[in-house]
Structure 1
Amino acid sequence: MKLLDLLGLIGSNLARRKGRVALTTIGVIIGTAAVVLLVSLGVGLQQNAESQLGGIGDLTRVMVYPGFSEGPVVASGPGVVMEQTAPLNQAAIDAITAIPGVTAVIPQDYFMGGATIKAGRLEGGSSIIGVGTDDLGQLGVTAAQGELLLPRGTIIVGSQVANNFYDPRARAGQEAPAPPDLYGQTLSIELIKWDSEGTEIRKKTRARVVGVLEEIQDEPDWSIFMPMSDLEGYNAWATGQRIDRDKTGYNTIIVKVADVDQVLDVADQITALGFQAWSPQSFVEGISSFYLVLQVAFGSMGAIALLVAAIGIANTMTMAILERTREIGLMKAVGANNRHVLAIFLGEAAGIGFLGGLGGVIISWALGQVLNVLVISYMAGQAVETGGLPPTSAVITPLWLPLSALLFATLMGLFSGLYPALSAATLAPMAALKYE
């Protein structure tokens, strides 16, 4: 039997029982549409969540903290004593640098006191960070103004630092001054510390702004960076004691990794050395894992409907065999063999699965578009109230999903009709012709 003849015979057989085939196909349509729509919803939720994490930071970065005998560091400063089991000293830097995939290891420390920064008549404040590199570009930041080279006596400010400035002599109700352009200015910095009796002590210094960073929606946006040698001098003044890096190490080390796929492995190796390591990538991986589980759960809910549809196909094909027993005997009497009969009934079962899968894919796509319009309209109103960004889509259907659903529905129909088809193929011709 030729393929075209087989397909024509399958089509005519399905057309003879339009009502029964339509009811069975509806079950497959519902199951397929449920699988595609629910999984698409899970994909949409995942992509929207990941887009909201766009400002979480550089995913090739690992933040490394000292190892402590009792949990992570929650405070630091004068008078706070913590027992380090693994300080971030030069030995730690050498050990981390030797890890495969690490491209840069940059020590970082914070000023352990208060600071008031003056630009003309305006005053402000910000976190002051010392970095152990003369090129801030190693941190993965870019310059909106100026450069990223950081010689002694200079600073580089984040994109939002200027927004912290205010006029201390402004009267009530007076309009706030515009944020100053800090690039190229020499700022006056008043460092503040307190003695054992709580008396405030101030020290004045100056630094020239050689660069302003592009906004990245992370800590650098609100920070002032200076050379580590300058910060160590200020911290020695603030604490009243010489900084011993071999003993106390650095507050933080930033590790840059060559590829984002290596980040978690590098973080694990750093942790194995006795340090604490965290990367934005670990948070992103956790979010992705959660939504992957959600997609599987959604898909499983739709798969239940497909299982019910599979039982319906098996029932339909079984009834078809009972109704067409004499027809099967006649086919065998005129020369059809078991393989031909098997192919016909398997083709009919697969055809029901294919038609149901195709209908389910089309309906799920249409419902997805309607759901996108409704959800986006609702979320846009919520975003206006909260000031957040609205999602671009709620339901996202990747190309592989409808194709896989269509293939699965067809194969499901094929396997559901396997037992009835085998029963039909093995009927004895004479017994089939005598069947009433």
Structure 2
Amino acid sequence: MPAARNRFLTRFGVSCAGCSGWAASHQTAVNRLRSLCRWNPRSKPRPNNGYCGASMKFFDLLTLIWSNLSRRKGRVALTAIGVIIGTAAVVLLVSLGVGLQQNAESQLGGIGDLTRIMVYPGYSEGPVISTGPGGGPSTTTPLNQAAIDSIAAIPGVTAVIPQDYLQTWAIIRVGRLEGGSQIMGIGTEDLSQLGVTADQGELLLSRGTVIVGSQVANSFYDPRARPGQEPPPPPDLYDQTLNIELVKYAEDGTEIRKKTRARVVGVLAEFKDEPDWSIYMPMSDLDGYNAWVTGQRVDRDKNGYNTLIVKVGSVDEVLDVADQITAMGFQAWSPQSFVEGISSFYLVLQMAFGSMGAIALLVAAIGIANTMTMAILERTREIGLMKAVGANNRHVLAIFLGEAAGIGFLGGLGGVLISWGLGQVLNVLVLSYMAGQAVETGGLPPTVAVVTPVWLPLSALIFATLMGLVSGLYPALNAATLAPMTALKYE
């Protein structure tokens, strides 16, 4: 066998003196090359391309890479553990961030109509009019008819509805029950423009009528009830006549009261926002009550309205419209802007979680580079033999890069599977705990704790593979550039 080996290597001008100690390694390399390059030891060398050349098959390359990894199961497993930990940490932490975001957005899903923008008067500091501290008096940009017309002209705006509040305290009575809710004047006869729906009755207002929110009935109580007595059930307010008593105080502190009535023509469906606790009446009725409270006529052109409700055609246009309103000198707020802020916060949180896992992947990358460097040192003679029988630099580079990428792929696959299993366990444990907490506190339980988007495990697997590939690049280049004679003589 040594003589045959020496004759075989002599055909390529390679001396094998003193290399009897690696006959098994020689035979292993020959067998691999036969698989890799369709090599026949009895054939003549192919010009330029040696025995490999263009006949290398991709499937055979994968087979050779798998064979090399299988021969070093312990080392590969220990190296892959670092990739497993890093990948599992990235996937699990980012999934936790996505779950937190979805829970927050589901809680905010009932915040109200996302196409509404609430507009308030703008405030600015006046010029300095004295040498004393501070600036001049603050001035406001009123929400008058001119402001309404300007905002209505913004592209995407479908309606601009003025709204104002009763400027005093009111006692509302239905039979023996008393209640108190926010009384608001609205500048439209059709409340459907607000995006609300009716649970009972209609949404059309006229003089002397009101429409009440879904929670207004819950504010009523029996003032004659004895302590400890069970409270009465909420009254059915639809088609009831509300006895409204307005209260104001004279300059000397004397209490003055004014009684009026209004018929309930509609009860709103639950809106999960301000309309649920409000009583809406025509703006003309509210102006009459406020004139009685203040003792002077309401001048809307000068003082404007307290609030404008701006309806936008689609959610995608809300933030742009709000920016344009702000540029006009008004204050604008929308539930959509709050949702966007929450989304931005959780996006940063996901990036922070992912960075924590990426640190573990960086450590794993160093481990792969170290493992491949040691493997090349141990297989230097094997590399020389491969080149002696026709393998070129590209083939050697492909083999060792493939092994490094294989370690990254196996570690990434293990990390994805482990993170999925841990995610399922966390969902069961966290949701059961939070459901119990929600029962005790009366809150809403979270719908999910860990959410893994489809793109996340796929991206993590690809990233782990590429990380292994990059980590093995330097050792593989060193292996590919080894001179055959030097490699065969390596001790």
Tell me the SS of whatever aligns to 1:118. strand
Which residue in 1 is equivalent to 2:415?
Answer: 360
**Structure 2 match to 1:75:** none
Please name the residue that 1:325 is paired with.
380
For 1:167, which of 209, 213, 222 is the aligned residue?
A: 222
Pick aligned residue for 2:79 from 24, 33, 39: 24
Name the aligned partner's letter for residue 371 of structure 1. L
Residue 344, structure 1, aligned to residue 399, structure 2: yes
Q: Secondary structure at the match of 2:400?
A: helix
CA shift, 1:218, in A, is 1.1
For the residue of structure 1 that corresponds to 2:317, the secondary structure is: helix
What is the distance in 2 between the residues matched to 1:98 and 1:341?
70
How do 1:387-402 and structure 2 match up within 5 A? Answer: 387-402=442-457
**Structure (1 or 2) with the larger CA radius of gyration:** 2
Q: 1:61: how far off?
A: 1.2
Matched, 1:64 2:128: no
CA deviation map 1:59-92 (0-9, x unaligned): 2111111122369xxxxxxxxxx96420000111
Tell me how far 1:97 sits from its aligned partner.
Answer: 0.9
Find the residue that maps to 2:210 and give its secondary structure: strand
Give the Å deviation of 1:225.
Answer: 0.5
* Corresponding residue of 2:190: 135
What is the RMSD computed on CA atoms of the aligned residues? Answer: 1.5
| Map of 1:421 onto structure 2 | 476
Number of matched residues? 426
The 5 A counterparts of 1:45-84 are: 45-69=100-124, 84=139
Distance in 2 between residues matched to 1:13 and 1:366, nearest whole Å: 30
Percent identity of equivalent pairs = 85
Shift of 1:203: 1.7
Q: How does 1:89-104 map to 2 (within 5 A)?
A: 89-104=144-159
Deviation at 1:23, TM superposition (A): 0.4
The residue matched to 2:164 in structure 1 has which SS? Answer: strand
| Contact map agreement 2:125 2:139 (CA 8 A) in 1 | no
Pairing 1:33–2:88 present? yes
Separation in structure 1 between the aligned mates of residue 255 and residue 316 of structure 2, nearest angstrom: 49
Match of 1:181 among 220, 236, 242: 236
Give the superposition deviation at 1:54: 2.3
Q: CA deviation at 1:396?
A: 1.1
Q: CA deviation at 1:169?
A: 2.5
Q: Structure 1-normalised TM-score?
A: 0.95
State the Cα deviation string for residues 122-166 of structure 1 (Å, max 9, x = none).
221110011111111111111111111112221110001011112
Which of 101, 105, 108 lines up with 2:160 in the alignment?
105
Matches within 5 A, 1:251-266: 251-266=306-321
AA at the equivalent of 1:166: Y
**Aligned pair partner of 1:153 in 208, 216, 238:** 208
CA shift for structure 1 position 11: 0.3
Distance 2:207 2:343 in 1: 43
Matched, 1:191 2:246: yes
Moved more, 43-52 or 342-351: 43-52
Contact 2:245 2:259 in 1 (8 A): yes
- 5+ residue gaps, structure 2: 1-55, 127-136
Instruction: Look up the SS of the partner of 1:368 in the other structure.
Output: helix
Deviates further, 166-175 or 304-313: 166-175
Alpha-carbon shift at residue 197 of structure 1 (Å): 1.6
Inter-partner Cα distance in structure 2 for 1:68 and 1:19: 71
Q: Is the 8 A contact 1:66 1:84 kept in 2?
A: no
Q: How far apart are residue 261 of structure 1 and its match?
A: 2.3
Q: Kindly indicate whether the alpha-carbon contact (under 8 Å) linking 2:162 and 2:309 is maintained by their aligned counterparts in 1.
A: yes
